Amino acid sequence: MLIVEVEPPPIKTAAGEWRNKYQIHYGIGSRLDGRRYDNVMAYKIIGEKMIEGYIHPHVSARGILCAGDLTEDIAGAIGKGELATATALIIQALQTYNPESAYVPAERLIELEKLAEEEGEEDEEDA
């Protein structure tokens, strides 16, 4: 397995910014997310912070990226073993936000993150 750490620019919305650090886990003929891939390159994305099971508006709770128009290009690059190209395309996908196709709205992630930060500050004051 190969792990690539990336930190794309934040997604900007009216509610604020969503930023996260990600790991792209590439595997050949190995298990990713409980599925078996033989002689096939697959990838999974893991985020540094998770809110309600989500790390990004377009990454499912299981780590599967919905890359929209980039899906075929990513699959093609992975199929050719061009991981640098695949990684660049995945980073590009992580920088984009389409509210109509998101697993969870970016605004919700931003709001919940702000609430968690406020609760953390209250806990510190109580200590």
> pLDDT tens digits, the chain, 127 residues: what are they?
788 999 999 999 999 999 999 999 887 654 444 444 444 456 888 899 999 889 999 998 888 889 989 988 988 888 888 889 999 999 999 999 999 999 999 999 999 999 988 887 766 666 5
What pLDDT is stored for residue 125 in this prediction?
66
What pLDDT is stored for residue 29 in this prediction?
53
Give the chain's domain count: 1
Q: How far is CA 50 from the centre of its chain?
A: 10
In sequence order, the β-bridge partners of residue 26 are: 2, 43
Which residue range is the domain that position 12 belongs to? Answer: 2-126
- Does an H or E element contain 91, and which? helix 83-94
Strand ranges in 1-127 using DSSP code E only, listed in sequence order:
2-6, 11-13, 16-18, 22-28, 31-32, 35-36, 41-47
**Single pTM value for the model:** 0.80
Q: Are strands 2-6 and 16-18 parallel, antiparallel or unpaired?
A: unpaired
